[in-house]
Structure 1
Amino acid sequence: MKISEAKAKELAAQALKARENSYCPYSDFAVGAALLCADGSVYTGCNIETAAFNGCCAERTAIFTAAAQGKREFTAIAVAGAGRGSEPDFFCTPCGVCRQVMREFCRPDFDIILTDGKDIKAVTLDGLLPMAFGPDSLE
C-alpha cells in the first residue's frame, strides 16, 4: 500500500459515510467510495440506481466527479458496501465496469482500500484486473 494505514482508514471512513447518500431502491445495496487524488483532495461517491437499471456505481461516481473537476491523477480509492440499512460485514470489491474505468485513469499499482466497517484490506488494481486493457495498450 502506497498510502499510510492512517490515510487508508480515513478514506474507509469517508466511504462508509458516502453510503448514506446511496440511492438504491431496486437493489437495496448501498455502496460508498472515497477517491484520493494525487494533490490530496478527496472526492466521494455513492451508487445511484434508476428504474431502467442503468445507474452508476459509487466508484465511478467519485471518479467521474473528480474528472469533471479536472482531476486526472489518483492515488487510492476506498470502497464500502452492504445492504441498505445494514453495516458492512464483508469486503465489497468494485464491479468489472468500475475496474475498467479505474484502469483508464490509474496505474496498475493503484491502491484499492476495502472495508468491512471494522477492518481494511488493501489490494491493487492489477490484483483485481490482471492483464488489463488500458490507454497504453493503444500505443
Structure 2
Amino acid sequence: MTDAPTTLDALFAAAVAARERAYAPYSGFTVGAALITPDGAIHAGCNVENAAYPVGACAEAGAISAMVAGGGRRIAAMLVVAGGEGLCTPCGACRQRIREFAAPDTPVHVAGPEGLRRSFTLEQLLPASFGPDVLDAARSAP
C-alpha cells in the first residue's frame, strides 16, 4: 500500500467528514481520524468528549474501533485532522493503540483544514515501541 495522492485525498476526506460529527462541547477542539487497511478499506472516527473529562474518546481510537468492528486487523496508513495552527499528532495512548495494529514504518499523516501539514512514521512518533512482536518473542524464548 502506498500513499498515493488519491489515498491521502480519500483519508483526508474521511477524516474531515468524521471531524464534522465530533462531539466536543467542552473544549470546542474537534478532531477526525481516518485509517486505511492493506485491502483499501477506510475507517474513520471522531473525538467524543464527556462531562467527566477522562472518559472521552479520541478520534484515532474511534477509527481503530471501526476497523476492528469491520473485521480489519492492520493499519496501512492513518491521517489525523484538527483545527488550530499547531500539529495535532496522536496522543501517547493513541500512538500505542496504533502500534497494536501497525508496523513501525506505517505512515501517520497530520493535517489541518487546509490539508496535509506533516507526515511521520509510527517509529518517529513512538520510538522503541512495545508491540505484539515483543510478546511473541518472549513467548517463544526458552
- Counterpart of 2:77 in structure 1 is 76
| TM-fit CA distance, 1:9 | 2.8
**1:5, CA displacement in angstroms?**
2.7
**Greater fraction of residues in helix:** 2
Q: Structure 2 unaligned segments of length 5 or more: list them.
A: 138-142
**Which residue of structure 1 aligns with residue 140 of structure 2?**
none
How far, CA to CA, are the matches of 2:10 and 2:113 in structure 1?
12
Amino acid corresponding to residue 69 of structure 1 in structure 2: G
Question: Of 126, 131, 134, which residue of structure 1 is paired with 2:123?
Answer: 126
CA distance in 2 between counterparts of 1:89 and 1:45 reads 21
Q: Deviations over 1:17-40 (max 9, x none)?
A: 211110111221100011111111
SS of the counterpart of 1:27? Answer: coil
* Alpha-carbon separation, structure 2, partners of 1:23 and 1:50: 9
Alignment of structure 1 residues 64-103 onto 2, 5 Å? 64-82=65-83, 88-103=84-99
How far the C-alpha of 1:47 sits from its partner, in A, is 0.3
Aligned-residue identity in percent: 44
Q: CA deviation at 1:16?
A: 1.6
**What stretches of structure 1 of length at least 5 have no aligned partner?**
83-87
**Which residue does the alignment assign to 2:27?**
27
Larger Rg: 2
